[in-house]
Amino acid sequence: MFFRNSDTKGFTLLEILIAIAILAVIATMVYASFDASIKVIDRVDSDADIYRQARLILTRLSEDLSMAYKSKGNVQPEATFVGQDGAVNGRAQDTLRFTSLSHLRYLPDEPASDFNLIEYSLEADPEGKKWALLRKEEANLYSLSVTGAGQHVMGEGIHSFNLRYFDGKTWLDRWDTTNQKGVPWVVEIEIQFQEPGGGQRSFKSWVELALAK
């Protein structure tokens, strides 16, 4: 004859359901914590990328502007400094084109001089949703074509690009050497980046042009 041990107990259905519910709550909490951590990491990476691009743009543009060339007499090539005030859908989208002494020759036989023609402008992607700041440089000002102009993307995800020019008395939204003499004393640069969350991050700098005076 076999006897059943009365001390042997199993899990009831209710206990199993409670255990499953507890595990589900724990899993949900772990997932929520993990998801929040991923979002924080993505936000930090996005902020770091925006700051990196802003630093690159402001540094390079400041170097180019600080060496902006001012014509004296009939010296060739003749200087150009044209800042156009533009906007698209309420966003500042200025364009700047000027001659500078910032070009560095790395090859002795390179068909270029210390003078260069530089242009900064915004350009949209094929869908027109994202804007990038482009830097174009023509290192041979005596070239009969523009095929030698190099183009580089300085930053992406740009919301707006605004420039102002100080003539010694007044801040102006545009500048043209055909109407104004020489180059401005100071250029104010303001760049806004589009953040993933929908906001904008602004950066501003001022550059004094050494050859303006």
| Domain assignment of residue 14, yes or no | no
Q: Which amino acid is at 153?
A: V
State pLDDT tens for residues 37-90: 666 556 656 788 899 999 999 999 999 999 887 765 555 556 789 999 999 888
Q: Give bridge partners of residue 192 from the DSSP assignment.
A: 160, 202
What's the pLDDT score for residue 146?
A: 47
What's the pLDDT score for residue 208?
A: 93
d(CA 53, CA 158): 10
State pLDDT tens for residues 171-209: 999 999 877 778 899 999 999 999 887 889 999 999 999
d(CA 76, CA 53): 35
| Domain assignment of residue 38, yes or no | no
| Domain assignment of residue 32, yes or no | no
Question: pTM score, two decimals?
Answer: 0.72
CA dihedral 165, 85, 103, 193 (to 10 degrees): 100
Q: Which domain holds residue 122?
A: 53-208
Q: Which amino acid is at 147?
A: T
117 closest CA partner among 160, 68, 72: 68
State pLDDT tens for residues 19-38: 788 888 888 887 777 666 66
d(CA 152, CA 162): 19
| Domain assignment of residue 184, yes or no | yes
| Domain assignment of residue 127, yes or no | yes
| Domain assignment of residue 119, yes or no | yes
d(CA 213, CA 203): 27
d(CA 79, CA 71): 5
Q: How many folded domains does the chain comprise? A: 1
| Domain assignment of residue 171, yes or no | yes
| Domain assignment of residue 28, yes or no | no
| Residue 105 reports pLDDT greater than 70 | no
